Each structure stands twice: as C-alpha cells, then as structure tokens.
Amino acid sequence: MKNNINIAIIGLGQIGIYLYKELNSKIKEIEKKTGKKIKIVAISAKNKNKKRIYPINKKIFYKNPLHIFKKEKIDILFECIGLSDGISKKIVETALINKIHVITPNKTLIAKHGDYLAKLAEKKRVNLEFEASVAGGIPVLRTIKEGLATNKINKVYGILNGTTNYILSEMESSGENFETVLKKAQKLGYAEPGNPKLDLNGFDAFAKIRILSALSFNTKIAKSKCIMEGIENIKAEDIKIANKLDLRVKLLGISEIINNKLFETVHPCLVSKNTYIGNVNGVMNAVIIEGKPVGESVLQGEGAGPGPTSSSLLSDLLSILRGNIKYPFGISSNKRKAVKAFNNDDYSNSLYLRFEVKDKQGVLSSITNRLAKYKMSVKRIIQTPDKKRNSATIVIITHKTSEKNARNCLSIFRKNRNILKFPTLIRLYN
C-alpha cells in the first residue's frame, strides 16, 4: 500500500461526525502506528449547513456521495449512513468495484447483502471491514476471525443491544414500567427519540446474530425465518416476579448448531442472577462464544454509541493501513456453504407463563389440564389474588417443552372467558 492514503466519510450522523472528529485528531498517532499518512479528502451527508456538534470542512463536502468517485482518488471509504439498501448499498458496491477499501458499522447492510459484497471485495482484492457492526467497541468479530480461528465454534450468544439492556435493567432497579423507562432512555440518548422500534422489537440484535453466525460457523448468511421477539410486552410485574425467583429478564441473541443445522433466535429470556450473563446490566453488551478446544470465551463492553463504534472503525482502518488484506468473513466466500435451518417448532425451553384470570374456583385446574393435554408439565405455580378486582395473577413455570406445543396450547386460551388477558410468555434460558 502507498504511503499517502485518501479517505472519504459518507454519512455525518452521530457515528459519522464523531468518526470525522476522531480521525482529524489522531492523524499523527495513526501515522506513528502504521507509517501511513492519511487525509480526509471527501465527506458527504444530506445537509451541508446542518448544525453539527463538530465543525466540518465544507470545501470537501459532497451532497451527492456518488460524485466523489468521479472527482476524487479514494483509497478507503467509511460508509456511515446505515441503510440496508438504496444509497448505502450503492456506495459500498461502487467503492468495491473501484478497488476502494470499505469500512462500515452498517449491520443491516451486512446481514442482508454481506455475502454478495464480500465476494465482490475478494474479487477486487480489497477489504470489506465491519467490526463496528456488532457489539460496538467489543472486538468480537476480530476475535472470531483471528483469535479463535482454529477453534470449532458450536454456539455464540449474548446481549447484543445496549438500549434494551438498559431498559430492562432500569425497570428492575426503579420498579417503573416500560413506557416510563423508554422515555428515560430516549432523554439519555440510549434510544432513538423518534422511532426506537428496531432496537425494541429485536431486529437490531437479530441482524447482529446473523453476522455472528456466518463468522462463527463459516457459513453463508442465513435467510430462514427465525424466532424474533422484542421487549415491548415485558411488564414491570414480570420484572418483579422474576426478581423474587432470583431471575432477570435479558434480551438474548442466540446462534448454535443443533444436529448439523443452524438455529438462530432473538427473544427475551429469564436468566439466573448467578450467571455471568445475568449480571451484565445497563448499556453493556456481552458475547459468549463456546468452542473446542478453547471452551467458553466472554467479551464484554459498551455495545453502542459514537465512542465505542468509532473505536472499532479505527481498528479496521489500522488493520487496512498495515496491509492486512483478508477475507471479510474469515475464509473465502467459495468455501462458505449454506446450512440447513433447524426447525423452530422443535426448539425447547422451560417457560414462564403469566395469566390474569377471574378469581373463581376451577380456573387454575382448567389451565393446568390444558397444559397437560399439550405435554407441558408444571414445575412451579405462584398464585396471587387481587380481592379488589376479583381477579388473580397465576404464574406457571413449566418444564421444557417445544415451541410447537406452547404455541398450540396458548392459542386455546384466547377462547377462555375466565382468562382476562392473553398470557405473557418468557422463555427461560437453558
């Protein structure tokens, strides 16, 4: 690689503008560590005159990022827009075709088009780096690709979204409901002020687990339908009951190979307070990797925000500047195979079921009889009457049962007039 490197940054949102500031302040440090001189020669965003927390050089500003390729000689491009399609994909694709290295934190782009873009990067002999797409400042992708390269990984799971982890942690510590804590998270900048849906419904974590799967198991990015649930239906009452049971609610992303088939899921889990994952609170992320011969590896740190994300983006930059041309997913795209999906119906867990029912004789037995009919055996029952409302809360912890059994059984309860609300279901982490 030549000594003088021209850089472009596309997207000057929260991540892009922080990266711009960091690059400008660390030019000498980067040169000292790599022997390369870098220069930001082009930046692009929707609005040139938008008020930003850091000033920009308007002389190098392009409203249309595609014009950069015609007017500037770019060596490395940062894509920080964040869309899965449209201009984000077009920019990355164009850069790779023109033999420009690409660095991006864009998890949705990689989760959807990573296979195609990786193959293109390999063909053009340039890097496609996306360390910042999963778990912010935690070097989990590099750990899998390099540090654990000779291990056979069979499972990777963890807390992959700092927003939801903060909300669940705060609900436990404050006793406040979901809506109140969400507003807190938005004020603190942990959740999007406008539409935090992608964090809350599990989609953000799911995009990350798909990337982790492909890297961990040397496979193509899966396209199969999977279990994906967010935290919108978790109530303060569930948090309180879990606490009494010495459990905590965590949104987990899970990926593992079961009987040579790939299983991926994102959903709330009840985990023991005595486990490592049960004690990862606030905005922290944690990823646990199980493999042979290494055993269990744990990585923890801040998973979101401009600081941790920029840290990962700059680590990718230094890797490229040091001349490390490598496969985006650790091995050649030609050697990565598609893997059959595990049947979600066969996924089994113990379940937490919370029923709001009329406080009358025979209701509990009707519920347990229905569970038994669908081979769902009861492990524990907690019944709390509410005399003022003439109702009761019934919490049932089951032994392990399949998703199919649980789904078919619970659907019947919609027709039971003695059950006031459709039961809340939270899976216990095995």
Give per-residue pLDDT as tens, 164-200: 999 999 999 999 999 999 999 998 888 887 789 989 9
Would the pTM of this model clear 0.85, i.e. be above it?
Answer: yes
Residue 250 confidence class, pLDDT cut points 50, 70, 90: very high
User: Would residue 208 show up in a list of annotated catalytic residues for this protein?
Assistant: yes
Superfamily of domain 4-133 in CATH is NAD(P)-binding Rossmann-like Domain (3.40.50.720)
Of 22, 16, 73, 25, which Cα lies nearest the Cα of 43? 16
pLDDT of residue 324: 79
Residue 314 confidence class, pLDDT cut points 50, 70, 90: very high
- Residue 279 above 90 pLDDT? yes
- Residue 304 above 80 pLDDT? no
First to last CA, the chain: 49
Residue 133 confidence class, pLDDT cut points 50, 70, 90: very high
Q: Which CATH number fits domain 345-428: 3.30.70.260, 2.40.160.20, 3.20.20.70, 3.40.50.2300?
A: 3.30.70.260
- Residue 305 above 90 pLDDT? no
The maximal CA–CA distance of the chain, rounded, in angstroms, is 81
Domain 140-302+337-344 in this protein, CATH class:
alpha beta
Question: Structural domain boundaries of the chain?
Answer: 4-133, 140-302+337-344, 345-428
Residue 302 confidence class, pLDDT cut points 50, 70, 90: confident
The answer to whether the 4-133 and 345-428 domains have the same CATH topology is: no
Percent of the chain with pLDDT over 90: 90
Answer for the pair 232, 140: CB distance below 8 angstroms, yes or no: no
The active-site residue out of 36, 89, 107, 208 is 208
